[in-house]
Amino acid sequence: MTDYTEHGAVPVEDAAVDDPPTEAEVREAQREQYPEQARTAVGRPGVPTDRQDSYQVRFELPKQFEASTVAVVGEFNDWSHTALEMERADGGPWSATTELPSGRHRFRYLIDGERWENDWRADSYEPNEFGGDDSVIVVGPHEA
Question: Domain containing 117 — which CATH number?
Answer: 2.60.40.10
pLDDT band at residue 31 using 50, 70 and 90 as cut-offs: low
Residue 40 lies in a domain: yes
Res 4 pLDDT > 70: no
Residue 32 has what pLDDT?
A: 58
Residue 139 has what pLDDT?
A: 87
Distance CA(43)–CA(57), nearest Å, equals 5
Residue 10 lies in a domain: no
Residue 80, φ and ψ in degrees, nearest 5? -70, 135
Res 84 pLDDT > 70: yes
Residue 121 has what pLDDT?
A: 86
Residue 141 has what pLDDT?
A: 73
Global confidence as pTM: 0.67
Percentage of the chain lying above the pLDDT 70 cut: 62
- For 44, other C-beta atoms within 10 Å of its C-beta total 16
Residue 63 has what pLDDT?
A: 81
Q: Which of 19-28, 49-58, 72-81 has the lowest mean pLDDT?
A: 19-28
Burial 106-118 (b: 16+ CB within 10 A, else e): bbbbbbeeeeebb
Closest CA to 109 of 135, 76, 130, 129: 135
Q: Please state the domain count of the chain.
A: 1
Res 68 pLDDT > 70: yes
Closest CA to 143 of 108, 102, 98: 102
Residue 37 lies in a domain: yes
Residue 14 lies in a domain: no
Spatial neighbors of 49 by CB under 8 A, at least 6 apart, are 55, 56, 99
Residue 132 lies in a domain: yes
Residue 7 lies in a domain: no
Give the pLDDT confidence of 111-136 residue by residue, as tens digits: 999 999 999 888 999 999 999 999 99
Q: Which range of residues forms the domain containing residue 129?
A: 20-139
- For 98, other C-beta atoms within 10 Å of its C-beta total 18
Side-chain half-sphere exposure of 136, counting CA atoms within 13 A:
10
Residue 67 lies in a domain: yes
Residue 6 lies in a domain: no
